[in-house]
Structure 1
Amino acid sequence: MNEYRIKSIVKSLANINSANFFHDICLSLSKAINADFVYIASLDDNDTLATTIALASQGKIIENISYSLPNTPCEQIVNSLICTHRCNIQQRYPNDARLIDMSIEGYVGVPLKNVEGNIAAILVALFQEPISNTNEIETLFLLFSGFIERELHKKSYSEKLELTNTIIENSHEAILITDAHTRIIHTNKAFSKITGYHIDEVTGETPKFFQSGHHDKHFYQKMWSQLKRRGHWQGEIWNKRKSGEIYPEWLSISTIYNKVNQVTHYVSFFSDITQQNKDKSKIKRQYYFDSLTKLANKKMLFQQVDQAIKQNCQEPQNIQSLCGLLVMDLDLFKHINNTYGHAFGDKLLRLVANRLKSLIRATDTVARTSGDSFALFIKNLPDEQGAQRIAENIKKSFSDPFHLDGITTSCSLSIGIALFPHDEKNAAGLFKKAEQAMFDAKDNGRNSFRFFTSNMEESAARILKVKSELEEAINSNKLDVVFQPIISLKTQLCTKFEALVRWNNNGTWVSPTDFIPIAEHFNLIDKIGDIVLKKSCQVLKTLKNAGFTDIIFNINRSIYEFPIDEANNNLWLNVIEASGLSPSDICFELTESVLAPENGNNISLLKSIQDAGCKIALDDFGTGYSSLSYLRRFSIDILKIDRSFIKEMTMVKDDKTLVTAIITMAKALGIAVVAEGVEKKEEVEILTELGCDFIQGYYFSKPLPVQALEIFLKKFSFTHPLT
């Protein structure tokens, strides 16, 4: 080998700047071996693509390139120590277009390994003339490949170090690093953002610098004990910012050891969890407290009752204290709500809550358990008369009227009382029996209280029997759907039907007013609603196939049938479309409670199905100011005037005035109007004169079974009703 070549390269390497090492080594090698091209290229993870780090040609560095390794001489380097072709390289690799473009005749390449010993790069020399001294070039490449590998290792380490530093500095979590003596040596930007301290202000300090005084010495002793035993600790800790503010953080500390298992550093990661704690507190409040009245909710009540019962049961039976649960329901609250509106009703509920709170001791629990129902749990009653005195005191207090928004209204309570340990020994059972007693008080004239008795369970048993039979009817598909015609006053044609559920229980028709409340109470109403929707869609599809293409079906939906999760908002549309119908073939009838502000997903679902083409009708309209607020908040397509106004319209002037006002207002808002409960020709004439759009009632037809629909549509005459 020509020693001059080696000396010239070594001499040039002595003056190489580390930043330009790869450029300089390629230039030196190309000059020493008279190569037309010399380059160093890194390989991808799959060893299929090479990208040059430095590329020298004719004494200068040129732009880097990337190329595919398969079917090239470089592919051989990955599998061997060195690859040399003195001449005719193009003939050996005819698919390597780069060799042809660069007019290459000779080739020398060696692999370059990373720290793990895997081939990660290659050193290549290309010659446009046949190579005369391949052995010398191979020796030279093998000799200097070690230098290049070391620089590649340094480059890789530097890149990893830079990446690590970038990750640390840009982490959203604060990072604090100390030495083995817990002196701070490094922090990141997130640390400064959270604590308010710059790194210069804390370098050399220990984490005690941030202590807030919130924790005692045992807390820190336990922390360090775990760090020493496990090398890790994490948990919530309260520290102090530069501003003096004490705040919570979630802290994770890890111990760093050297090769001989000596502690060298401690690394802490932490984040400010002030907002998370607020969110947790908010979630807890939402989970355990009523958002309207701020009272405990049913979950919290049950928790308090069960806890008190558990404590009592740990005592000998002869010294267990008497506890009472009072379940209270506001009398005629629905009437107040309908008269003055939901906003007024909500304010009244707050006043009721405040009055109840003013009557209890600090050890008692008062809760709102549902819309207009409350409960009071009393511990350590002296005797049964103690519960009676409390009920009488509540009754007396509620004899005073409430004054709200310039309105004076009376609001009495029906109260049911159950006692521990006499009646039940768990919260759910105690509540159930107190509720049964409350229903008994309500059935016996309201504004009274009743203690639970075993006779009340007979009524509960009857309800459970109906519930069981209703479940069987649902599961066996024994519920029927009938359809009441809705007539257009403009076209004098039947254009719609309202679908209504009916139940024949072993030969006896059960009124919907009897079984629907039970279905709602036991969460069966959504299954009934699904049955009605599916059967109605099947019937409507049959009618359309028979040529009645303009018919629309109205389907009732109660508040209990709306999905809580938005992910289920397409279920109704899926049923409609699976039946081969368009969403525009269906109108959903709702009551006002569905649109209440607290029922957020209901509005989202309604907008979704309305956007798809369904119509929305507001049922029983005209029973309160709240209806008007809903018209402002949500785009209703149809109003259905409550039958009570239609019934009295021909005799009571105020009712006719109200009907007139509703129709006029609806027209101004572009909303269609359906009058329910129309039974007389005189009512039809008045509604026609007032400009009502549709009428529904026994004047034209009672609800019809499926098999009667086609006959009705074919024979219907506006001037000669079939009824």
Structure 2
Amino acid sequence: MVEEKVKSIISNLSNSSSTNYIEVICLSLAQAIKADYVFIAKLDKYHTEATTLSLVTQTQVLDNFTYALKSTPCEVVGTGQVCSYPKDIQQAYPDDKLLADMQVEGYVGIPLVDHDNRAHAILVALYCSPITNKQEATSLFLLFSGLINKELEKQQVLNELRTRNEIIEKSKEAILICDKDNKIISVNRAFTHITGYNFSDVRGKNPSVLSAKREHISFYQKMWADLHTKGSWTGELVNRKKNGKSFPEWLSINTIRDEDQNISHYVAFFFDISKRKAAEEKIYRQANFDLLTGVANRFYFMDKLTTTIHAKSVAQFQSALLFMDLDLFQEINDVYGHDAGDELLKKVAERLNDLLEENDLLARVSGDGFAILVNAVISEDAVNDLITRILISFSKPFYINDVMLNCTLSIGVVPFSTDEDSAGTVLKKAERAMYHAKSLGRSSYSYYTQELDNAIRYQLKMKADLAYAIKHRQLSLAFQPIVSLAENKVTKFEALVRWQHGEQWISPAEFIPLAEQFSLIKPLGEFVLSEACRQLKKLKAKGYQDIVFNVNRSVNEIPLSANENDEWLLMIDMYGLSPADICFELTESALAPDKRNSEVLFNNLRAAGATIALDDFGTGYSSLAYIRRIPLDYIKIDRSFITDMSENPDDKILVSTIIAMTKSLGKKVVAEGVETIEQVEQLQQLGCDYIQGFYYSKPIAASDIPAFIDNFSMLNVPCVSAE
């Protein structure tokens, strides 16, 4: 009897025109064992759910569904056991609602196991009346379980192949497959989209059909050597489209080997990088060249100067650096406007470029400052000849919008062959020489002298002393209160660094520029931030939880790379403080357009909870466009605008305008350098938010902050002179 049913099932499978093997075998099994339902279900990864792949009666195919395995006989089958109940299955599994809904009385289920002998699917028969042929049903299920498993494995492989083919076809990367003889045997849609070639155009051809013949033969020799020895190659090259247009591509090639480790195929992936290359070129131009004049910018110039210094031989005067500043440029700007000033800068760059040799480099290194790196200098006379030609050229007027403008140059010169100085130091030497030339009279030049060198020696000693003081934490901080006019209290303090050098206090106005010049500003800034955090943590431990410390950071501390943008926050976290406990004060130079990482850094700081204050507003790169773009919380009005506010109506109008503008942008205003009650009252009337200055307090030690807060009263402020 079983043999006949086996033959019947095999006959159905052989004669069926259906491509769905699973449905055919389920129908055949249902008919053979006279089950009311037969289904094959796939188990999920955790064996908590099963999804039917085919659900049938003896005559029709039903819709598939997913059901939970818990408290069902299928849960037992999912563990790898055969489960059968000739009758009373509902009594055995009263929580299985599906059995009741389908009026199931008898149940037969066997697991379908994978190579690890773990059930991945189940084969189940359901009866609406007691089973009379349970052994027969179980035997047939077990007999055909192997075939069903093979079919499921085949379907899985086919599904994976379809998925892979779909991925290949939908890939945005061009994919090219060659046989062992490097003949093209397959391409995807992206290949046709990028190159314009259909598969029929390139079938059986060598990929060299795409070559633009830009690379040297050694390039391809290296590529094939890597493919045969390493099994892969990746790189950039130029290929040609069907329309003849060349394009840069990023190409990766992998070798495929057979069981005997012989190469059977080559698979290449590539994509057109024309847009990326154009963007890189644009970024490169923006990063390295002045947008106004088109000549190199300071960043690029300093990089080339550094390279030149490191590459010098012992030949004297092999190179020279000229630093030039336009005489009376500010006056031209004031009289004729910034547009005329910009046009003048363009013409200055053109005139200087016309005087240079091919190997020389011209850069705009500051607002009206230009520098020339003169290479291959034979003698000092050659440098003097160039300087003479520059001064003669600039004795001739410029014509801007039909206006004749006379604009001369002052030039500082540093010849060098080998030099242990950094590029910044060499440029600074040339700049000092330029200022010396300007002091002698305009349209002149000056070489760097021994007197200037003596001044540098002093700076170098101070630099070494400052570096030692920073390393050994011999600096200290004082804290100046910042008073809230609206809240009538003090919760903010600006941290101010102090340096006692022997018996002498060195002014920050002297040692901070020194730190910036000699690349000590970052360790100095790290000391100030760490010491401020240390002191703030002690104050919070005493119960002063609402205090915020303002910490100054130099624009030169802004990381050049966004990869270092978390360093400030990590320092705060190291002391167990919140970013909201620190307000970072930066000068307006941080808003300069060439500080490309500033906006990213500030956004990161504010997103973490820190606040940003713009210090000394009105003395640097003031621009509404910059202020709107850069995320700021506070704008601090420079003390120079506050000093004469009581006596000079113009200054009062200016302060009023700054406050109104700041508030319209949704930011808070801090007035610095407040020394009199008249200034306080005027600032209150103008809507200023915070006051900082000697009127309320000089900078105080951290240990004095608790007493200052506890005893502070805006109605009883001792007026302190600003000595």
Q: Counterpart in 2 of 1:324?
A: 319
**How far is the alpha carbon of 1:274 from its aligned partner?**
1.3
Q: Counterpart in 2 of 1:439?
A: 432
Give the alignment's Cα RMSD to 1 decimal.
5.4
* Contact preservation (8 Å) 1:322, 1:379: no
* Contact preservation (8 Å) 1:499, 1:536: yes
Say which is worse superposed, 459-468 or 44-53, in terms of deviation.
44-53
2:507 counterpart of 1:514: no
- TM-score of the pair, normalised by structure 1: 0.76
User: What amino acid is aligned across from residue 413 of structure 1 in structure 2?
Assistant: S
Residues 1:359 and 1:479: Cα distance change in structure 2 (over 3 Å): farther
* Contact preservation (8 Å) 1:39, 1:54: yes
* Contact preservation (8 Å) 1:556, 1:589: yes
User: What amino acid is aligned across from residue 10 of structure 1 in structure 2?
Assistant: I
Structure 2: distance between partners of 1:661 and 1:602: 31
User: What amino acid is aligned across from residue 410 of structure 2 in structure 1?
Assistant: L
CA displacement, residues 356-393 of structure 1 (integer Å, 9 cap, x when unaligned): 32221112233445666544333333323333333444
Q: Counterpart in 1 of 2:478?
A: 481
Residues 1:342 and 1:573: Cα distance change in structure 2 (over 3 Å): farther
Say which is worse superposed, 623-632 or 509-518, in terms of deviation.
623-632
Q: Counterpart in 1 of 2:589?
A: 593
* Contact preservation (8 Å) 2:475, 2:498: no
Residues 1:411 and 1:688: Cα distance change in structure 2 (over 3 Å): farther
Say which is worse superposed, 662-671 or 182-191, in terms of deviation.
662-671
**How far is the alpha carbon of 1:673 from its aligned partner?**
8.2
Say which is worse superposed, 229-238 or 506-515, in terms of deviation.
229-238
**How far is the alpha carbon of 1:159 from its aligned partner?**
1.2
- TM-score of the pair, normalised by structure 2: 0.76
User: What amino acid is aligned across from residue 32 of structure 2 in structure 1?
Assistant: A
Structure 2: distance between partners of 1:169 and 1:642: 66
* Contact preservation (8 Å) 2:362, 2:372: yes
2:269 counterpart of 1:269: yes
Structure 1: distance between partners of 2:306 and 2:627: 44
Q: Counterpart in 2 of 1:366?
A: 362
Determine helix, strand or coil for the equivalent of 1:64: coil
**How far is the alpha carbon of 1:196 from its aligned partner?**
2.4
Structure 1: distance between partners of 2:290 and 2:354: 17
* Contact preservation (8 Å) 1:484, 1:499: no
Determine helix, strand or coil for the equivalent of 1:328: strand
Residues 1:512 and 1:392: Cα distance change in structure 2 (over 3 Å): farther
Residues 1:544 and 1:370: Cα distance change in structure 2 (over 3 Å): same
2:616 counterpart of 1:619: yes
Alignment of 1:411-490 (within 5 A): 412-421=409-418, 424=419, 428-429=421-422, 432-433=425-426, 435-436=428-429, 438-440=431-433, 442-443=435-436, 445=439, 449-452=445-448, 456-474=452-470, 475-476=472-473, 478-481=475-478, 483=480
User: What amino acid is aligned across from residue 651 of structure 2 in structure 1?
Assistant: V
* Contact preservation (8 Å) 1:417, 1:437: yes
Gaps of 5+ in 2: none
Determine helix, strand or coil for the equivalent of 1:356: helix
* Contact preservation (8 Å) 1:483, 1:500: yes
Residues 1:501 and 1:86: Cα distance change in structure 2 (over 3 Å): closer
Structure 1: distance between partners of 2:83 and 2:685: 100
Structure 2: distance between partners of 1:343 and 1:529: 38
Residues 1:430 and 1:586: Cα distance change in structure 2 (over 3 Å): closer
**How far is the alpha carbon of 1:515 from its aligned partner?**
1.4
Say which is worse superposed, 137-146 or 633-642, in terms of deviation.
633-642
Residues 1:312 and 1:520: Cα distance change in structure 2 (over 3 Å): closer
Residues 1:392 and 1:502: Cα distance change in structure 2 (over 3 Å): farther
Say which is worse superposed, 126-135 or 683-692, in terms of deviation.
683-692
2:245 counterpart of 1:245: yes
**How far is the alpha carbon of 1:328 from its aligned partner?**
1.1
* Contact preservation (8 Å) 2:499, 2:505: yes
Counterpart pick for 1:383 among 379, 388, 393? 379
Determine helix, strand or coil for the equivalent of 2:455: helix
**How far is the alpha carbon of 1:29 from its aligned partner?**
1.4
Alignment of 1:307-322 (within 5 A): 313=313, 320=315, 322=317
Structure 2: distance between partners of 1:547 and 1:143: 79
Gaps of 5+ in 1: 651-655
**How far is the alpha carbon of 1:518 from its aligned partner?**
0.6
Report the number of matched residues.
Answer: 705
Structure 1: distance between partners of 2:228 and 2:540: 78
Structure 2: distance between partners of 1:105 and 1:387: 107
User: What amino acid is aligned across from residue 211 of structure 1 in structure 2?
Assistant: S
Q: Counterpart in 2 of 1:62?
A: 62
Say which is worse superposed, 269-278 or 640-649, in terms of deviation.
640-649
User: What amino acid is aligned across from residue 59 of structure 2 in structure 1?
Assistant: G
Determine helix, strand or coil for the equivalent of 1:381: coil
Structure 2: distance between partners of 1:40 and 1:695: 76
Structure 2: distance between partners of 1:311 and 1:566: 30
Structure 1: distance between partners of 2:481 and 2:39: 87
Q: Counterpart in 2 of 1:176?
A: 176
Structure 2: distance between partners of 1:160 and 1:307: 55
Say which is worse superposed, 468-477 or 257-266, in terms of deviation.
257-266
CA displacement, residues 234-288 of structure 1 (integer Å, 9 cap, x when unaligned): 4323222233211111223334455566665443221111123234434544565
Counterpart pick for 2:657 among 665, 669, 672? 665
Alignment of 1:555-704 (within 5 A): 558-562=554-558, 565=562, 568=565, 571=568, 591-602=587-598, 616=613, 619=616, 621=618, 640=637, 643=640, 656=648, 658-659=650-651, 661-663=653-655, 665-666=657-658, 669=661, 700=695, 703-704=698-699
Determine helix, strand or coil for the equivalent of 2:41: strand
Counterpart pick for 1:503 among 485, 499, 524? 499
* Contact preservation (8 Å) 2:362, 2:373: yes
User: What amino acid is aligned across from residue 124 of structure 1 in structure 2?
Assistant: V
* Contact preservation (8 Å) 2:325, 2:434: no
Structure 2: distance between partners of 1:87 and 1:342: 98
CA displacement, residues 628-648 of structure 1 (integer Å, 9 cap, x when unaligned): 776777789656366389569
**How far is the alpha carbon of 1:335 from its aligned partner?**
5.8
Q: Counterpart in 2 of 1:653?
A: none
**How far is the alpha carbon of 1:521 from its aligned partner?**
1.8
Q: Counterpart in 2 of 1:40?
A: 40
**How far is the alpha carbon of 1:190 from its aligned partner?**
1.3
Determine helix, strand or coil for the equivalent of 1:165: helix
* Contact preservation (8 Å) 1:212, 1:239: yes
**How far is the alpha carbon of 1:692 from its aligned partner?**
9.4
Q: Counterpart in 2 of 1:190?
A: 190
Structure 1: distance between partners of 2:127 and 2:192: 57
* Contact preservation (8 Å) 1:437, 1:453: no
